[in-house]
Amino acid sequence: MRAVAALLLLSVAARPVETPEVTIAQGRLAGALENGVTAFKGIPYAQPPVGPLRWRAPQSAPRWNGVRDASAFGPICPQHATEGLAARAHLPQSEDCLTLNVWTPDLRPAAALPVMVWIHGGGLAQGGSALPIYDGAALARHGVVVVSFNYRLGRLGFFALPALTAESRGEPLGNYGLLDQIAALRWVRDNIAVFGGDAGSVTIFGESAGGVSVDALMASPLARGLFARAISESGPALLGTVPLADAEQAGTALAARLGGARGGVGPDALAALRAISPDSILEGGEELLDPIVDGNVLTEDIAVAFARGDVAPVPYLTGTNSDEGSLLRGDAPAWLTRRMGDRLSAVRALYERNGAVGDAEFARQLFNDQFFAATSRLFALALARAGQPAYVYRFRFLPAILRARNAPGVPHGGEIPFVFGFGALARFAPPRDLAVLDLVQGYWTNFAKTGDPNGAGLPAWPRFDGPAPATLVIDDTTAAVPDFREAQTDAALRLWSARAGVPLP
- Each residue's pLDDT tens digit, 14-56: 334 579 999 999 999 999 999 999 999 999 999 999 999 999 9
Where do the H-state alpha helices sit in 318-430?
A: 332-340, 344-353, 359-367, 374-385, 400-404, 416-420
Q: Rounded to two decimals, what is the model's pTM?
A: 0.94
The confidence score (pLDDT) of residue 338 equals 82
- pLDDT digit string, tens, across residues 16-25: 457 999 999 9
Long-range interactions of 301-305: CB distance < 8 A, separation 24+: 301/240, 301/241, 301/500, 302/212, 302/215, 302/216, 302/218, 302/219, 302/237, 302/240, 302/241, 303/237, 303/238, 303/240, 303/375, 303/378, 303/379, 303/496, 303/500, 303/502, 304/500, 304/502, 305/218, 305/219
Task: Round the average pLDDT of the chain to a whole number and report it.
Answer: 91
Q: Which residues contact 35 (CB under 8 A, 6 or more apart)?
A: 135, 137, 138, 141
Exposure class string for 77-116: b at 16+ Cβ within 10 A, else e: bbbbbeeebbeeeebebebebbbbbbbbbbbeeebbbbbb
**No. of H helices and E strands in the chain?**
19, 16
Task: Give yes or no for a contact between 202 and 115, defined as CB atoms under 8 angstroms apart.
Answer: yes
The amino acid present at 73, given as its one-letter code, is: F
Domains, the chain, ordered by start:
13-160+169-240+294-500 (3.40.50.1820)
What are the mean pLDDT values of the chain's consecutive 10-residue runs (505 residues total)? 43 55 97 96 98 96 97 95 64 96 97 98 94 97 98 96 90 96 98 98 98 98 98 96 94 84 61 92 74 97 97 98 90 77 88 87 91 97 97 98 95 98 92 98 98 97 97 98 96 92 93
Q: Are the beta carbons of 69 and 109 closer than 8 angstroms?
A: no
Q: What is the rounded distance in angstroms from the CA atom of residue 444 to the CA atom of residue 431?
A: 20
pLDDT of residue 6: 45
Question: Would you give the DSSP letter of residue 48?
Answer: -
* Residues annotated as catalytic (active site), given as ranges: 208, 324, 412
**DSSP 8-state symbol, 76:** B
